[in-house]
Amino acid sequence: MSRSATEKDIDIMTKTVWGEARGEPDAGKVAVAHVIMNRANSGNRYGQGIAGVCLKDRQFSCWDEGDVNRGQIDRLNTNSQEYQKIRRIVEEVLDGTRPDNTYGSTHYHRTDTPHNWANGKRPAAKHGAHSFYNDID
How do the pLDDT tens digits run along the chain, 137 residues long?
Answer: 555 899 999 999 999 999 999 999 999 999 999 999 999 999 888 999 999 999 999 999 999 988 888 989 989 999 999 999 999 999 999 999 999 999 999 999 999 998 999 999 999 999 999 999 999 97
- At residue 69, the pLDDT reads 86
- At residue 114, the pLDDT reads 84
Cβ atoms of residues 30 and 89 within 8 Å: yes
Q: Where are the alpha helices (DSSP H) in 41-137?
A: 49-55, 68-74, 81-94
- At residue 2, the pLDDT reads 53
- At residue 85, the pLDDT reads 98
* Structural domains of the chain, ranges and CATH numbers in brackets: 7-104 (1.10.10.2520)
- At residue 4, the pLDDT reads 81
- At residue 66, the pLDDT reads 87
- At residue 3, the pLDDT reads 53
- At residue 125, the pLDDT reads 98
pTM of the model: 0.94
Phi, psi of 61, deg, nearest 5: -60, -20
Q: What is the CA radius of gyration of the chain?
A: 14
Alpha-carbon span 17 to 24, nearest angstrom = 10
- At residue 56, the pLDDT reads 96
- At residue 79, the pLDDT reads 97
- At residue 67, the pLDDT reads 87
